[in-house]
Amino acid sequence: MGLEDLEHNFLTGRLEDLVKWARTYSMWPATFGLACCAIEMMSVGAADFDLARFGMEVFRASPRQADLMIVAGRVSQKMAPVLRQVYDQMMEPKWVLSMGVCASTGGMFNNYAIVQGVDQIVPVDVYAPGCPPTPETLMHAILTLHEKVRTADITERRQGGRPGQAEIRGGHIRSNEQGADTEDARTASEEETSGWTPERPDAVHLGTPRRNPVIARSVGEPL
């Protein structure tokens, strides 16, 4: 019996907010620094771009104790099973932040050795672009993730479909029972979307300020 079994009413609403607040402000990252992005991740944890103000300076080496996996760097073919294994060892609730273009899409290395996007292996919540992303970009990505956690449904599972994308209806993110890890879920979604660009990327919806109408309109989102 967990939170998922509670009925959603006005009494448990405050409890949910408390839980979401706690999850946001003590989200511990797992060390998954692979390449150059790892150095920028360390810079974010260091003094100049202090990550401790968000309660995240403890990078837990053990995935059992971590909530957030920041995949920082390029994932090679040999590393892919290791990545999946570490992800599986993390306890729910867990989130994945794909840092850098190599982790998001394979980056500049479109070849035999690099997995073209870490979302082929684990479901990703936020993508942070950059090569490497400057510490400010990474912090923005982390704050976007915090925003997502705080405003999302407590029982959110990633929608059975493209990993990392939750369907948005009426401003409230709905959840889908099916996890994103199942094979049929992934293939089912590929027929819906164009296959290359997500319909409504979460980061654009949640993280980008709505001042720039060009961006919002280009992804088909009403202002």
Partner 1 sequence: MEPTPEEGTAAGTDAVDAATGTPPPRPDRSGEVRADSDLAPPLSGETYFAPGPDGEPAGLVAETSEGSQELTRRGTTGAGELRREVGAVLRLPEGVVVDPSNIDVEQSDDNTMIINMGPQHPSTHGVLRLMFELDGETVLRTKPVIGYLHTGMEKTAEELTYVQGSTNVTRMDYLSPLHNELVLSLAVEALLGVEMPPRSDWIRMLLTELNRVSSHLMWMATNGMDLGSTSMMIYGFREREMILAFFEKTTGLRMNHNFIRPGGTAADLPDGWEDDVTVICDTVLPRTDEYDELLTGQPVFRQRTESIGTISAEEALALSLTGPILRSTGVPWDLRRSMPYLRYDEVDFDVIVGTYGDNFDRYSVRLNEIRESIRIIRQIVEKMPAGDYRVQDKKVTPPPRARIDESMEALIHHFKVFTEGFKVPEGEVYVAIESPRGELGCYLVADGSSKAYRMHIRGPSFVNLQGLPLMMRGGLVADAVAVCSSVDPVMGEVDR
Partner 2 sequence: MTTAVQPTPAPAGGSDSGGASSRAPGRPVQEVVHPTRAQYLAEVGRFRSNGFEMCADLCAVDYLTHPDRRLPDGVPHERFEVVVNLLSLSAARRVRLRVQVPESDPVVPSLFDLYPGVEAMEREAFDLFGIVFDGHPDLTRILMPEDWEGHPLRKDYGVGRVPVQFKGAPGPR
Q: Which residues bind partner 2 (CB under 8 A)?
A: 77-78, 106, 110-113, 116, 196-197
Mark 150-189 with x for binding to partner 1 (rule: CB under 8 A) and - for no binding.
----------------------------------------
Out of 12, 19, 28, 31, which residue is the one contacting partner 1 (CB under 8 A)?
A: 31
Residue 137 interacts with partner 1 (CB under 8 A): yes or no: no
CB of 188 to partner 1, least distance (A): 32
| Closest CB 112 distance from partner 2, rounded Å | 3
Stretch touching partner 1 by CB under 8 A, among 12-20, 105-113, 186-194, 196-204: 105-113
The distance of closest approach from Cβ of residue 113 to partner 2 in the complex, given in angstroms and rounded to an integer, is 7
Sketch the per residue contact string, 38 through 57, with partner 1: x for CB under 8 A, - otherwise. Answer: xxx-xx--xxx---------
Are the C-beta atoms of 154 and 16 separated by less than 8 Å?
A: yes
Please, what is the minimum distance in Å from the beta carbon of residue 35 to partner 1?
6
